[in-house]
Amino acid sequence: MFILIALTAATAPAAAWALRRAAAPIPAGTAAGLAALGATAVAARWLGGAWPGWWLPVPALLTVVAVPLALADLRHLRLPDVLTLPAYPLFGAAIGAAALGGGGPSLALRAAAGGLLFGGAHAAVHHFAPASLGAGDVKLSGSLGAVLAAAGWPALALAALTAALLTLAVAAVRRRERVPHGPALLAAAWLCVLFPLAL
């Protein structure tokens, strides 16, 4: 448990460095602390027997990716390519390991289809209403769709609905013209992966 938490927190400085080079700096200490909290929740679910050990890399990796991206979007209204694009092969590897470890080929096939479906839906929204959804959200949505579908088909709709409601709630409270959607999307996906429906 402590190794998982330490490793997750240790990724924060590298992510902060990459984001600083992408002109979207985040506080490394805050990122490390939030990543450690997220990893603690992941480890607690795993040790509590909520899901099999082969699923562990998926929520652990999502925690590593979600924290710095959410902070960058909150601070700069951006989801930089430096993290959204590497998420595809990273999540692909984690899902592949989960499939080989016990999830079976259906998990990998579901993930691939989910990535196309979720990413395609976000791309369509961005195309027809570009002001409502940024390009970074679209780039992120494909990899998140794969992770969500691996957790179970209902997670796609649940995450989309939860993220939309969270973003609307923040917009109503802050009363600003632009509200980042990425943090809500990442939080909803993280919860769905932490409490998967298909395992």
| pLDDT tens-digit readout, 79-96 | 999 999 999 999 999 999
- Is 80 part of a structural domain of the chain? yes
Give residue-wise pLDDT tens across range 29-62: 999 999 999 999 999 999 999 999 999 999 999 9
- For residues 38 and 66, what is the distance between their CA atoms, to the nearest angstrom? 10
Which segments in the chain show pLDDT lower than 70?
176
Question: How many residues are present in the chain?
Answer: 199
161 within domain boundaries: yes
Which has the closest alpha carbon to 38: 17, 13, 58? Answer: 58
How many domains, in total, are found in the chain? 1
Which residues, 6 or more positions from 106, have their beta carbon under 8 angstroms from its beta carbon? Answer: none
Tell me what pLDDT residue 176 has.
Answer: 66
Tell how far CA 25 is from the center of its chain: 19
Q: Is 60 domain-assigned?
A: yes
Residue 101 lies in a domain: yes
Q: Residue 143: inside a domain, yes or no? A: yes
| Its pTM surpasses 0.85 | yes
What is the domain range of residue 187?
Answer: 2-194
- Compute the CA torsion angle 98, 56, 69, 184 (nearest 10 deg): 100
Please state, in angstroms and as integers, the Cα–Cα distance from residue 2 to each residue in 6, 112, 189, 195, following that order.
6, 32, 24, 21
Q: Would residue 199 count as lying in a domain?
A: no
158 belongs to a structural domain: yes
Query: What is the residue whose two structure tokens read 């796609």?
Result: 156
User: Do the domain assignments include residue 82?
Assistant: yes
